Amino acid sequence: MDALEPGGAVVEVRCAPESFEQTVATVGLQAARWGLEAAQRGAESAIGGGPRTAETVRQLLSACQGCFLAVLRGLRDEVPAADLPVPEELLASVRGAVRGGVPLPRLLRMMWTAHFTALDALVAATERVAPPAEAAAEARGLTTESFAYVEAFSDAVERRYAVELADWTGSAAAERMRVVEEILADGSVDRGAAEAALGYALGGWHVAVLLTADRTAVRLDAEVGRLADVLDADATVSLHRSPTLLWGWLHRPGRPDAEPAERIRSAGPLAVGVRVAVGPAADGPAGFRWSHVAAQEAARLAGLGHGGVVGHADVAVAGLLTANAEHAGRFALDTLGPRLCTASPKARRLRETLAAYLEAGRSRAAAADRLHVSPGTVAYRVKQAEDLLGESVEGSGRTLMVALEIMRAFDAVGRDPATTTGGGPLGGEGL
């Protein structure tokens, strides 16, 4: 393992900090960072073509990092499978899977898919550095030992899943979730029975919030209470979708006098590591549903940049433009051309400058003030963009602005319009 070298990708530590620190102490910093990269590849493989919501990625990365770093520690110290502690990050993800309706076979399949991918990377690295005569035996040994670890982890996941499912099935929280899902599906619901189950009136005005936390230790319920105070709400209902994701609704008898996300932003920062997507205020049972749908759109495009608080109004236009990712990507490519749609820093800088220039009514001075550069720099970049476009930007502002807004959304979620297929919304379906 001393030969394991990270490839340079920036991978955020999503597992418990002590898991990473323990791995560094056991295998060294370079091998631990390599493990984070391998775990990320495993998580990407496990997600496959499924919904790539922010919370899905967050949970899977945490579980994959916790598991693969534990495997590296076990392999280095030659710990028997029965003695290697099951990563807490993995067990924490089971609760989210149960509450999210993920069947146990699918959860186990994702777990093994992630491990196969990470193990392939470890075997390949071993074969590169081991003497040819020893490489095959070394690879077989790694495979056998790591499989024993993951089999033990799988047994623990099955046991925890059964416990979580028993706690969840028939619980008041499960009944609230059933009622909420009926409302969100826009199906018929007995209003009186629904209000009794939720302990929440469906009349009046509703503001939906989706709160996420970087760590399971954060009390999201307390944050919902604080948001209720900020918006002068008289009632709340909240549902934990996972240890780090909470759906909430804040009730008011009358319409708020200000946009909810703006009021929340102006009230000061959230707890460390917490982000919130905020829907608009809307009335009645239909408003309960719409505010949540809009909050999901805000969460889907939170990467466009609005700090820890993003409201639907902040991303409404981008949401409309990217509701069909394939159509949006094709429009951007056809309008801007492939050279201006690349993910390179230069192309992105040219797009940002061109957007600022057009939004400023083609004023180089106003665009320069916004971008904190000189007017000459703006003129130079606009000329470079025109060279890539093959034509002047004069007279085509509206079409260009739509394409540039689409590219901002693609940049925010790290997607390439040239490789986007399928008609789903860009970035998944929200949290």
Task: For the chain, give every domain's residue range.
Answer: 17-168, 200-312, 322-419
What span, in angstroms and rounded, lies between the C-alpha atoms of 211 and 275? Answer: 6
- The pTM assigned to this predicted structure is 0.63
* pLDDT for position 429: 44
Cβ–Cβ < 8 Å for 431, 210: yes
* pLDDT for position 257: 85
Instruction: Report CA-CA distances (Å) from 25 to 8, 31, 207, 362, 412.
Output: 21, 10, 47, 56, 35
Name 235's bridge partners. Answer: 251
Name 208's bridge partners. Answer: 249
What span, in angstroms and rounded, lies between the C-alpha atoms of 211 and 55? Answer: 10
279, two tokens: 């829907």
Residues in Cβ contact with 41 at an 8 Å cutoff, skipping those fewer than 6 apart? 117, 118, 121
3-state secondary structure (DSSP) of residue 215: coil
**What architecture is domain 322-419?**
Orthogonal Bundle (1.10)
* pLDDT for position 427: 67
3-state secondary structure (DSSP) of residue 137: helix
Q: Which residue has 């604080």 as its token pair? A: 226
* pLDDT for position 428: 54
Residue ranges, the chain, pLDDT below 70: 1-2, 49-56, 187, 216-217, 303-307, 396, 421-423, 427-431
* Fold assignment, 200-312: Alpha-Beta Plaits (3.30.70)
Instruction: Report CA-CA distances (Å) from 426 to 116, 313, 328, 419, 430.
Output: 28, 17, 9, 12, 10
* pLDDT for position 133: 79
